Amino acid sequence: MPNQPPVSPFVEFLQALETGGIQAILIGMMAAVEQGAPCSTIDYDFWVDLPKRQVVRIYAIVKKLGGTLRAPTFYELRDGTQINVVFEPVGSA
């Protein structure tokens, strides 16, 4: 069997969310970048379908994957990828 490329910490994070039954949607500027917007950003923002009191579930996933808590809803994966989670996205009117 040919060598498989290593799975990135970001893909591991997404797989862990799925395994944990946590639904998430990419939002924010990175969602625009993924759709081809000519801009840049350095973090991934996710709306997660959890009550805010369950934020510890996200931290447990990040910690298990070797990541770091930077703020209550802001994490850094072991390769430096930054993840921000929100529980109630708020848009501008």
Residue 16 has pLDDT above 70, yes or no: yes
Residue 71 lies in a domain: yes
Confidence of residue 5 (pLDDT cuts 50, 70, 90): confident
Q: Which residues contact 58 (CB under 8 A, 6 or more apart)?
A: 22, 48, 50, 73, 75, 85
In this predicted structure, what is the pLDDT of residue 77?
97
pLDDT in tens, 20-40: 999 999 999 999 998 999 998
In this predicted structure, what is the pLDDT of residue 49?
94
Supply the pTM of this predicted model.
0.85
Residue 88 lies in a domain: no
Chain centroid to CA 55 = 12
Q: Do β-strands 43-48 and 74-76 pair in parallel, antiparallel, or remain unpaired?
A: unpaired
Number of domains in the chain: 1
Q: With residue 61 as reference, give the H or E element that holds it.
A: helix 55-64
Residue 9 lies in a domain: no
Residue 12 lies in a domain: no
Residue 36 lies in a domain: yes
Q: With residue 45 as reference, give the H or E element that holds it.
A: strand 43-48
Which residues constitute the domain of residue 32? Answer: 22-82
Average pLDDT over residues 5-10: 89
Residue 16 lies in a domain: no
Q: With residue 19 as reference, give the H or E element that holds it.
A: helix 9-19
